Amino acid sequence: MSQQAESTGRALPRRYTSLVTYNDNHPDAAFPPSPAERDALRRFDAAGTGIEDDILDRGMLLTIDFLPGGAPALEEFDRVGTVVASCWGKPPVYVLAEQLSLRAAWRTISAQWPTSLSAVQSALADLRRYGGKT
């Protein structure tokens, strides 16, 4: 366990080294197969600068993806899904939360505007703790 995980008591995200392995293990919340489809997903990346990985691969820049289908826009129906961190839709893929409202996850993360992976984890923990209304 890393020092960060030890000091916060937070579990490390599950890590998948390929999109195929992630998709095989999460068929209901899979990444789209093509790079163009992955790029079209609504994701969080702190205004295009990326989320700094301060937990696993320190210094790597990540985006937060909401699967399946990206974070729902206001005019779309909400979905229950998985929130992951990835390198702009490329491996590695870190599973941050499963079986939660993607709209509530988007709102919580975008309201807190985290710039590090540990801050995203904290935001998602708050969502879980307080029930995350959509």
pLDDT in tens, 31-66: 998 999 999 999 999 888 899 999 988 888 999 999
Per-residue pLDDT, 15: 94
Report the amino acid identity of residue 58: R
pLDDT reported for residue 129: 62
User: How far apart, in whole angstroms, are the C-alpha atoms of residue 83 and residue 106?
Assistant: 9
Q: Tell me: the pLDDT tens digits for 7-33?
A: 445 678 999 999 999 999 999 999 998
Please state, for a pLDDT cut of 90, what percent of the chain lies above it: 69
Is residue 71 within 8 Å of residue 103, measured between CB atoms?
yes
| DSSP secondary structure string for all residues of 36-80 | HHHHTS--B-TTTT-EE--SSSTT-EEEEEEETTSSPPTTSPP-E
Residue 11: predicted pLDDT: 79
DSSP states of 104-118 as a string? HHHHHHHHH---BHH
- Residue range 88-102: average pLDDT? 92
Give mean pLDDT, residues 125-132.
Answer: 67
The residue among 2 and 11 whose pLDDT is bigger is: 11
Q: Tell me what the mean pLDDT of segment 82-95 comes to.
A: 92
5: pLDDT confidence band, cut at 50, 70 and 90? Answer: very low
